[in-house]
Amino acid sequence: MSKLNIAIIGAGIGGMSAALGLAQSGFKVSVFEQAPELSEVGAGLTITPNATKGLNYLNLGEGIKSVGMAHTNQGVRHYETGEVIVPLERGEKMMQKYGAYQFQAHRADVHNLFIGAMNAYPDSQVYVNHKLTGLVERNGHVELTFNDKDAYEFDFVIGADGNRSTVRSIIIGDDDPEFAGYVAWRGLVPTAELSEEDFDECGSSAFIAPGRVFARYLVRNGELYNYAAFLVTDEWAEEGWAIPSDIEIVSEIFSDYNNQVKNIIAATPKDELFKWGIFARAPSDNWSSEYSTLLGDAAHPLEPFMGQGASMAIEDGVVISRIIADSGSQKEIVDRYQKARIERAHFVTENSKKAGMRFTGKTPDDYSKEDHKNEEELGLFYYDPSTVEI
């Protein structure tokens, strides 16, 4: 089969992983992004060893080392006392046990690695200001319409357009994601504003309380604390990932937390605190139509309690790029991709949900090492998207 002409909808971490994998295999790829420029929200993300192996495959191994922090100590901690209930060793242990580090980084820094790497493939392009509005499959091709006017034709389409995916609604037609029962706030706090008591050897920590979690880690060589603060709640009416919020509200909700957490919240730059609702879907056994498929949040939005959203999107991107490079037809691509990825995605979706319930469901005094069955304990770090059977 001659090389397929491929379109990717969405230039997030997942879409860019697939684009880079395909470009490196000699494909001409067109990535369409609705935003007017290529940028990422101000927040951190975690790349666990399973995804670092994917970045190595994409030749971004040195890049992630230069922008990410590989904290040695991570922990599940008591919200009041700060006591480490479940110590988790990361750092060198990850390299020794899984052959790759875990990194935490600023999202924009990771995104920039992808954008820089794509520049080496001038045949492939990322088009901004292109919001997908239509997708029609006919006669072995897919016709895409953007901004309700421009139309282009491709052999195969990858929908990497996030949790509220337009591609998904057209090719699978299922309902909108449902509110998962959490509101979250995120902030990036310059550490120069903080005092000594606001740091300790646990570079990455999740402080748990009944109905709440405050997760924080250092990024950008320790210049910034990234945090995400979660509250269990019944109601959420607003749309979006970047709704401005007030520091006073978050300070009040976390007022019984330890001083470190309270100081970090209080030091959030004004106008830079955002909230969003966590939305989820029941796992689906089909992500594809004849000539189109999905990846990342479009295929399997995750509740964020195992830090696997970006990592799973990278895994998807690497696996689908390998499969496309090795397949003889669109049908073969779809069949092999779903076989390779759906079972793992279901497992991570279900266990991310359970992790949130475990963190928020009881008092931390009752949370034990035995209760803790998260990303490493479940064996997720052994996976290597660059070598897994396809």
Residues found near ligand FAD in the complex (CB under 6 A): 9-15, 32-35, 41, 43-46, 130-132, 160-162, 166, 186, 241, 296-298, 304, 307-311, 313
CB of 5 to ligand FAD, least distance (A): 18
Place of tokens 């479009």: 298
Length, in residues, of the chain: 390
- Could you tell me how far CA 180 lies from the centroid of its own chain? 17
CB of 222 to ligand FAD, least distance (A): 17
Query: CA separation (Å) from 199 to 124, 141, 186, 264?
Result: 44, 55, 18, 10
144: which DSSP letter? E
CB of 306 to ligand FAD, least distance (A): 8
Residue 132 pairs in a beta bridge with 146
Which CB atom, from 199 or from 241, has the smaller least distance to ligand FAD? 241
Place of tokens 């060893």: 49
Please report the DSSP string for 168-196 in residue order.
HHHHT--PPPEEEEEEEEEEEEEGGGS-G
CB of 13 to ligand FAD, least distance (A): 5
Which CB atom, from 166 or from 258, has the smaller least distance to ligand FAD? 166
Among 158, 112, 105, 106, residue whose Cα is nearest residue 135: 158
Which CB atom, from 22 or from 313, has the smaller least distance to ligand FAD? 313
Q: What six digits make up the tokens of 132?
A: 């997908």
Determine the Cα angle at 114 with ends 109 and 118, to 5°: 145
CB of 363 to ligand FAD, least distance (A): 25
CB of 226 to ligand FAD, least distance (A): 8
Which CB atom, from 34 or from 258, has the smaller least distance to ligand FAD? 34
Q: What six digits make up the tokens of 363?
A: 């008092």
CB of 2 to ligand FAD, least distance (A): 27
Contacts of 335 (CB under 8 A, 6+ apart): none
CB burial of residue 262 (10 Å; 0-12, 13-18, 19+): middle
Which CB atom, from 180 or from 313, has the smaller least distance to ligand FAD? 313
Determine the Cα angle at 281 with ends 47 and 106, to 5°: 25
Which CB atom, from 115 or from 332, has the smaller least distance to ligand FAD? 115
Which CB atom, from 4 or from 312, has the smaller least distance to ligand FAD? 312
